[in-house]
Structure 1
Amino acid sequence: MTRIGILGTGRVGTNLARKLAAAGHHVTLGGRRLPDTDTPATPRVTFADHRTAVRTADIVINATPGDSSLDRLTDLRTELTGKILVDVSNATRDARDGLPGELCYPGSSLAEKLQAALPGTHVVKTLNTMLFMVMTAPESLAVPPTAYLSGNDEHAKRTVTALLGDLGWRSEQIEDLGDVTTARATEAMILVVPHILRRHGFEPFAVSLAR
């Protein structure tokens, strides 16, 4: 059993928490405010503030809004030292209709900024090229989706690959792109997402590799 801290209690964070808990991991959902109830909706899931969620975890998942992730996680530098940080967020500024607009870090990426700000942490970018429901149900799409990996540490990427397996991803669906600088490519894929959403609504989809 791995202790996993998930930062962010929105749809992405809670969806990942349920699936990882069902796979046997102990999950702590970290938020700025604790829920009104002390009883988690899912066994093996507890709630805490961000700092506690990181301090008690072996692996940390960043599911906070990407445009504020850098400031939030930099504040947790001490607690994140020596840990694997799985970054599933995209850093964009909202368009007028509330959908993703411009990139916050053109020519770079949130993952690169996090790695530079957290040199003692192993940042791995993944699962940021799909709607949140596909993250935990890759089998739900008619065409097998792709989960891309970007990160500097090979051991950390192997660990995250195993974690993806617990979420239902098969090895042939996981594409290791290389070091953390490759995250700028997958983060840029968010630019196509608002156009798809405007045409098709919030139907599950992923931006995948077909071959």
Structure 2
Amino acid sequence: MTRIAILGTGSVATTLAGPLVASGHSVVLGSRLPGGTVPVAGTTVQPFADAVQQAAVVVNALPGDAAVAVLSGLPVPGGAVLVDVANAVHTGPDGLATGLRYPGGSLAEELQRALPAARVVKTLNTMHVSLMVRPAAPVTAFLSGDDADAKAVVRTLLTDLGWASDRVLDLGGLVTARWVEGFAPAIGPTVRALGPVPFGLAIAH
């Protein structure tokens, strides 16, 4: 059993929390305003700082434009695996990405700079939330990170989320997060071409 803190209580956080609880993990959701109904059975909701204090894994499911500011002020334990599933983008009137907030870099790298004692791994940011768990479509889950052991932890969590091993692709170091985050501005044109259908990036091999 791993203690996992998922920061956020939106659709991404709640989608990931259920299967992780079912796999035997202890999951707490971090919220800016905890209270009210617990959104996922088997979890608790705590303030951000309380949620991360004893977590072995912290999942950034916050909006990408707020993630660095929020996480840089939290007591994330040294050595914790920080799983970044967010995209940091500028958006247009339709809410879709028009550009990257960290051109020439990545949100994942900014989080690593803000929390140098954590071990950041980027994954699951290239697909609609409905495909993050037991994906029906043949999408690919990419891994980017500088720590091999941290990436092994995330691989195991992806298995718990219903991912087949041959659909998980390790791209290498954290610098490769620039490539997967670069997919975000393509979402708007794709939605306009296909309509609001769930889709994600896939590598055919």
User: TM-score under structure 2 normalisation?
Assistant: 0.96
Superposed CA RMSD in Å reads 1.2
Please list, as runs of the form range in 1=range in 2, the aligned pairs for 1:119-158 lying within 5 A after superposition.
119-138=116-135, 140-141=136-137, 144-158=138-152
The within-5 A match list for 1:35-54 is 35-37=35-37, 40-54=38-52
The 5-angstrom pairing of residues 102-181 of structure 1 reads: 102-138=99-135, 140-141=136-137, 144-181=138-175
Could you say what secondary structure the match of 1:207 adopts?
coil
Matches for 1:57-76 after TM superposition, within 5 Å: 57-76=55-74
Instruction: Tell me what 2:31 maps to.
Output: 31
Residues 118-170 of structure 1 show CA distances to partners (whole Å, capped at 9, x for unaligned) of 110000000000001101121x11xx211000000000000100000000111
Q: Name the SS for the 2:76 alignment partner.
A: helix
Distance in 2 between residues matched to 1:189 and 1:42, nearest whole Å: 30
Aligned residues: 205
Structure 1, gaps ≥5 residues long: none
Q: Which has the higher helix share?
A: 1
Q: Is the 8 A contact 1:25 1:44 kept in 2?
A: no
SS at match of 2:202: coil
Identity %: 47
Match of 1:97 among 88, 94, 97: 94
Q: How far, CA to CA, are the matches of 1:165 and 1:202 in structure 2?
A: 27
Q: Which moved more, 1:153-162 or 1:78-87?
A: 78-87
Q: In structure 2, what residue type is equivalent to 1:151? A: G
Find the counterpart in structure 2 of residue 10 from structure 1: 10
Taking structure 1 as reference, are residues 25 and 108 closer, same or farther at Cα in structure 2, changes over 3 Å only? same
User: Counterpart amino acid of 1:165?
Assistant: T
Q: 1:19 deviation in Å?
A: 1.7
Normalising by structure 1, report the TM-score: 0.93
The structure-2 alpha-carbon separation of the partners of 1:73 and 1:197, relative to structure 1 and needing over 3 Å to count, comes to: same
SS at match of 2:102: coil
Alpha-carbon distance between aligned partners in 2 of 1:31 and 1:202, rounded to the nearest angstrom: 28
What is the distance in 1 between the residues matched to 2:84 and 2:4? 13
Q: Where does structure 2 lack aligned partners over 5 or more consecutive residues?
A: none
